[in-house]
Amino acid sequence: MIKKKHCNIVFVSDKRFLPVVVFTAELYRKYGYDISLITDCNEYNEELFSTFKSVKIVDSTDFSFKESKRIPVVAYLKLLIPYLFKDEYEYSLYIDADALPNVSEKVFNQSVNRNISFSKIKAVGAVPHVGVPRAVLKKTDFGCYYNSGVLFFNNSSEHHLTPRSLEEVYERFSDVVVFEDQCLINHYYRDKIYRLPVCWNLTTDWFYFDNVKVEGIIHYTALFGKPHEKVFFHPCKLGTVEGLANVLDQISASKSGSMKNLIKYFLYKAGVYIPYRIKR
């Protein structure tokens, strides 16, 4: 019997976003963990796939996932991470392609090995949103709503999904899902999510509070624009953001929403636009 490794880092992508995922994955290689990919791209690309220790190909068309303007349907496949890696790794750390590291190798490894109480992660660990998105509240009243951009999976948990059960869970919650895979994770795992320290997923909205430490994983969520858009406000623009913006710019057909982002930014700063029901 092959002894399992402690943890790997996993990315999920379709064919179009592979260059973005490769860019971000390269930034995490320095931490010394195996980097893995789940994709529905069945065309082998040696140049892109060489970044990863292992590549798992899953056909997303086997599922009834609905198309979305926000994210590709392949994003739902992150729920299969434990199923796909349970025989190789005890835990898997999933990271979105727009979540960039801003932490030294020493601190990152200390955080993984010391600051994360793995014994308390019965199924999955995540960082909560600043509040519950109002669009979500119209469907379900969550006491705590978690962002799915960074997830720690306990691969041996009995609660994890197979391809068949993922399809069943999707059908069960499809009427109340607002933000695709993120809502599905919150609904399915609901009381089984272990709360991770905020530094593991510093989404854009956390930076509009005082005394936020910027050492950790900086997740450039779309609250006030993405890095490649003309209007992009973020208090913590890492040096690697320009590289991410260049890759995104090459694959993005549109940079629409710039004026909308600008208006939202100023309304938010004025205290008029509040996208969440905030619980501090």
The CATH number covering residue 165 comes to: 3.90.550.10
> Rounded CA gap, 127 and 94, in Å?
12
- Looking at residue 202, its pLDDT comes to 87
Flag whether 235 is in a domain: no
β-strand pairing of 34-39 with 5-13:
parallel
Domain count, the chain: 1
Flag whether 50 is in a domain: yes
Task: List CB contacts of 46: < 8 A, sequence separation 6 or more.
Answer: none
Structure tokens at 229: 């858009």
Flag whether 58 is in a domain: yes
Flag whether 150 is in a domain: yes
Residue 1 has pLDDT above 50, yes or no: no
Flag whether 177 is in a domain: yes
Residue 255 has pLDDT above 60, yes or no: no
- Looking at residue 128, its pLDDT comes to 86
Range of the domain at 49: 5-200
Q: Which phi-psi region, left, alpha or beta, contains residue 225 (left: φ > 0; alpha: ψ -120 to 50)?
A: left
Higher pLDDT, 137 or 152: 152
Flag whether 161 is in a domain: yes
- Looking at residue 9, its pLDDT comes to 96
- Looking at residue 242, its pLDDT comes to 83
Flag whether 110 is in a domain: yes
Q: What is the pLDDT of residues 162-171, one digit of tens each?
A: 989 988 988 8
> Rounded CA gap, 263 and 236, in Å?
20
Flag whether 11 is in a domain: yes
Which residues are paired to 38 by β-bridges? 12, 56
Q: What is the pLDDT of residues 211-246, one digit of tens each?
A: 666 788 989 887 667 777 766 777 777 778 888 888
- Looking at residue 262, its pLDDT comes to 65
Confidence of residue 257 (pLDDT cuts 50, 70, 90): low
Structure tokens at 107: 């601190």
Closest CA to 223 of 231, 212, 213: 231
- Looking at residue 172, its pLDDT comes to 85
Q: What is the pLDDT of residues 71-127, one digit of tens each?
A: 778 888 999 999 999 999 999 999 999 999 988 888 888 777 655 666 778 899 999
Q: What is the pTM of this model?
A: 0.86
- Looking at residue 280, its pLDDT comes to 39
Confidence of residue 3 (pLDDT cuts 50, 70, 90): low
